[in-house]
Structure 1
Amino acid sequence: MRFVIIGAGRVGLRTARVLREEGHDVTLLERDERKVERARDQEFTVVQGDGSREDKLEEAGIADADAVGALTGDLNTNFAACMIAKHHGARTIMRIDEDYREDIYRKYADEVDEIIYPERLGAIGAKNALLGGDIRAIADIAQNLQIVELSVTEASPVKGYTISELQLPADATVLAFGKEGHPVGIPNPDESLELGDRLVVLADFEVLGDVRQIIVGDASGRAATLTGGA
């Protein structure tokens, strides 16, 4: 799938990295030269310019994008980018900050496909909103630590295994477990992992891809149900 992300700050860049690791095509649009160079140093395709301008969005490939994530810290830029993206038929994800009033949220919520709070969801939450999937961000604990909820799928390598047989990377720990349709709780080591079951995991950002592969399986490129941020 193809994505355009407006904003190459902390969340925008991390979101782009997550999508690229899953094999997707990502282009960043950023006006700040320092952030542009940082993203290019990480071998991303970057267009330098104002994310609220249609000509710059077109240069970034908005006409062919499956989804556009407006992840800058500027609400007006984000909204303008989403309205242009909507005109081009792309899914629209808009960042707002947590201190905006509820009436501001309601005003914009009807105009875009999804609103995200990056302070709550981080890069994985932004990725979920753009792509959808079987992993849901719950909280950022520190710069490199995140709590996520993952669902067991048909493609999961551990489907049918017990929790005690689950071998995650050293920087990942299972915090809770829930059978499909039931609340999560303290994991029982003898519980079997079946389709739709959920695992809540604390993991370092660097190993999230490995954790997802182990629990969810290779779901890149497939249609997924949405679970869903310089």
Structure 2
Amino acid sequence: MRVAIVGAGAVGRSIAGELLENGHTVMLIEKDGRKVRTRSVPGAEWVQADACEVSSLEEAQLATCDVVVAATGDDKANLVVSLLAKTEFAVNRVVARVKDPRNEWLYTEAWGVDVAVSTPRVLAALVEEAVTVGDVVRLMSFRKGAANLVEITLGDDTPWVGHPLREVPLPRETVLTAILRGDRVVTPSPDEPLESGDELLFVSHGETEEELQYVFAPGGPGSAGA
């Protein structure tokens, strides 16, 4: 996969390093010549250019990229890059960093953003995920809530513990993608029994999260006598 990362600050370089380790091809685009440090990410292609200019992106052949990551520290620049990547170069996937959480509402499909990543929101979600049992915790949103990655940890009193997955009445537009069980990642199958302490990861429509909460809540459809 070919990935263009706009912004070669600490965030952009870190993303580039991770992607290179995973075998992807990475192009770093940075306007500020002082931040063009090729030795810091030697496996990446470096381009010094203003990514808010169409001509610069044409020279960088952005249309050949599968994914664009707008990772600068400027929300305005990230939005412009996202819009150009999607509308002018038809990039399939655009991921944008939200610097100021107050601007998160702007990061929508209208600006070409497929996934918006707000560090404060992600950290808050991870804190909730670590300490919350029995509640649906939203970890990440895709396409501004049209689909969300959510997690629920099963407690001893959670309905469906001991039941196979095929018996669980999941809401519409909700897919169980993985079960985290101790240090294992379990692939969901219809006959897989649920255990207390399981962390269930779902991709779910935003409108069905309350239904998902009810399914696993004490007194819900999995409770005796419900």
Aligned to 1:8: 8
Q: Kindly tell me: are residues 21 and 106 of structure 1, through their superposed partners in 2, closer, same or farther at Cα, counting changes over 3 Å?
A: same
Contact 2:2 2:66 in 1 (8 A): yes
CA-CA distance at 1:31 after TM superposition: 1.4
Identity %: 33
Deviations 1:154-206 (A, max 9, x none): xxxxxxxxxxxxxxxxxxxxxxxxxxx983268xxxxxxxx8212588xxxxx
Report the CA distance between 1:120 and its aligned residue: 4.9
Cα distance between partner residues in 2 of 1:59 and 1:86? 16
Deviation at 1:24, TM superposition (A): 0.6
User: Would you identify which runs of 4 or more consecutive aligned residues in structure 1 move more than 6 Å?
Assistant: none
Q: TM-score, structure 2 length as denominator?
A: 0.53
Larger radius of gyration: 2
Runs of 5+ unmatched residues, structure 1: 123-136, 140-148, 150-180, 187-194, 202-213, 217-224
SS of structure 2 residue aligned to 1:196: strand
Do the aligned partners of 2:104 and 2:118 also contact (CA within 8 Å) in 1? no
For residues 48 and 226 of structure 1, the distance between their equivalents in structure 2, rounded to whole angstroms, comes to: 38
Taking CA–CA contacts closer than 8 Å with sequence separation of 6 or more, which of the two structures ends up with the larger relative contact order?
A: 1
Q: Distance in 1 between matches of 2:57 and 2:203?
A: 25
Q: Distance in 1 between matches of 2:182 and 2:9?
A: 27
CA displacement, residues 126-176 of structure 1 (integer Å, 9 cap, x when unaligned): xxxxxxxxxxx937xxxxxxxxx9xxxxxxxxxxxxxxxxxxxxxxxxxxx
Partner amino acid, structure 2, of 1:113: D
Match of 1:138 in 2: 126
CA distance in 2, matches of 1:13, 1:65: 18
Q: What amino acid sits opposite 2:98 in the alignment? A: I
1 CA distance for matches of 2:182 and 2:61? 36
**For 1:200 and 1:49, how far apart are their aligned partners in 2?**
46
Flag the 1:56–1:182 CA change in 2: closer, same or farther, 3 A: closer
- The alignment partner of 2:152 has SS state of coil
* TM-score, reference length from structure 1: 0.52
Question: Is the CA contact 1:5–1:29 (under 8 Å) kept in the aligned structure 2?
Answer: yes
The residue aligned with 1:107 is 106
Measured in 2, the distance between the counterparts of 1:138 and 1:98 equals 19
Q: Identify the residue that residue 178 of structure 2 maps to in structure 1.
A: 196
**Residue 115 of structure 1, CA deviation:** 1.1
1:93 aligns with 2:95: yes
In structure 2, the CA distance between the partners of 1:40 and 1:114, relative to structure 1 (3 Å rule), is: same
Within 5 Å, which residues of 2 pair with 1:1-230?
A: 1-37=1-37, 39-43=38-42, 44-87=44-87, 88-90=89-91, 91-100=93-102, 104-111=103-110, 112-121=113-122, 138=126, 183-184=152-153, 196-198=178-180
- In 2, distance between residues paired with 1:35 and 1:119? 25
Q: Deviations over 1:57-104 (max 9, x none)?
A: 22333111111111101112111111111021111112222441xxx4
Q: 1:16 to 1:184 in 2, by over 3 A?
A: same
Partner of 1:205: none
Secondary structure of the 1:138 match is helix
May I ask how many residue pairs the two structures share in their alignment? 145
Q: Which amino acid aligns with 1:138?
A: L
Do the aligned residues in 2 keep the contact of 1:98 with 1:119 (CA within 8 Å)?
no
